[in-house]
Chains A and B, each alone.
Chain A
């Protein structure tokens, strides 16, 4: 058995070897999901079943999911789907909250903290 030191992987980015989360939203999403599951809102098996289905579906349309943004996009789809299925939220609320955040960013001067008005979820 031998190991080459200067190999390049056609399907990987070796420079990212030690990065746990490539984007802050990946880590937020991860932590939200773990916390929700540990508080009994859904089991981890339940989550990975929905997540796995979404990954499978997505890979039919997107060739070669890279395991980064597209992977966490599927994760996000799965979590939203579960929350809607469990009646923790609904599509409309999620859209409205996203719109609130969008408007908050567009109306907040650069460098100032961005907040949204409290909406009853």
Chain B
């Protein structure tokens, strides 16, 4: 097998006879799975495309930013969000897979919250979309629990030593969202302007909302 592949790959790739480029091992295995499952009627291509489009283009941290901005301007909403996050987030029509049981943790001058998933990469999809690569890395997953202050400093977030850091470990059943503190000097901004300041990392706890420009 390998000898045969070598022969094929060592020839000159001229345009008139070159074969298609052989995908990597995992790519071929995924193609095998897709073929198998479509043949068995367990999945369909249209739904696969829709799922990919949804998470590539339609669901992302902009959803969570609207939740945070609303909590900043509406005290009653904030109260509901902290008491029953799943229901309060559903009020904005953000619900569904991986957002069935949400908890919102509030940053204060004394407490800074940060979210991790030590098992794999559990993450609140309806409000943040899919996790960034670093959230899935070994380093983030293991070190955030062990040395959160150091990890946050590597994100450029230097917290006052007096600020307590709370680390929340997401699971398949329970997903956390951080409610960051509203930046100073934003008293005259409306909800949609405020939402523009809310970054993805500020809702994971590895960053802060953008400062006023």
Of chain A, the residue at the smallest CB distance from B118 is A52
Contact with B along A81-121 (1 / 0, CB 8 A): 00100001100011001101110011111111010101111
Question: A68 to B130, alpha carbons, bound, how many Å?
Answer: 13
Central interface residue in B18, B35, B207, by most chain A CB within 10 Å: B35
Establish whether residues B173 and A97, one from each chain, have CB atoms under 8 Å apart when the complex forms.
no
Q: What are 15 A-B contacts defined by CB distance under 8 Å?
A: A2-B158, A10-B154, A11-B137, A12-B140, A20-B129, A30-B55, A32-B43, A49-B172, A66-B133, A67-B133, A68-B136, A80-B33, A88-B37, A101-B31, A111-B20
Contacts of A52 in B (CB 8 A): 119-120
Q: List the interface of chain B (C-beta within 8 A of A).
A: 5, 8, 13, 15, 17-24, 26-37, 39-40, 42-44, 47-49, 51-52, 55-56, 60, 97-98, 112, 119-122, 129-130, 132-140, 143, 154-160, 163, 172-173, 207-208, 211
Of chain A, the residue at the smallest CB distance from B132 is A17
Question: A110 to B129, alpha carbons, bound, how many Å?
Answer: 36
Establish whether residues B35 and A121, one from each chain, have CB atoms under 8 Å apart when the complex forms.
yes
Contacts of B56 in A (CB 8 A): 20-21, 27
Contact with B along A67-83 (1 / 0, CB 8 A): 11101110010011001
How close is B138's CB to chain A, nearest CB, in angstroms?
4
Contacts of A9 in B (CB 8 A): 134, 154-155
How close is B51's CB to chain A, nearest CB, in angstroms?
4
Establish whether residues B19 and A44, one from each chain, have CB atoms under 8 Å apart when the complex forms.
no
Contacts of B135 in A (CB 8 A): 67
How close is A89's CB to chain B, nearest CB, in angstroms?
6
Q: Supply 15 further A-B pairs (C-beta < 8 A) apart from A105-B21, A106-B20.
A: A1-B158, A11-B137, A11-B154, A19-B133, A20-B60, A21-B130, A25-B30, A41-B42, A64-B137, A71-B136, A79-B33, A97-B31, A98-B29, A105-B19, A110-B15
Say yes or no: A16-B133 contact (C-beta < 8 A), given A31-B52, A32-B34, A32-B43. yes
Contacts of A21 in B (CB 8 A): 52, 56, 130
Establish whether residues A7 and B51, one from each chain, have CB atoms under 8 Å apart when the complex forms.
no
Question: A66 to B52, alpha carbons, bound, how many Å?
Answer: 22
Say yes or no: A34-B51 contact (C-beta < 8 A), given A65-B138, A68-B133. yes
Closest 6 CB pairs of A and B: A67-B136, A11-B139, A7-B156, A12-B134, A97-B32, A67-B137
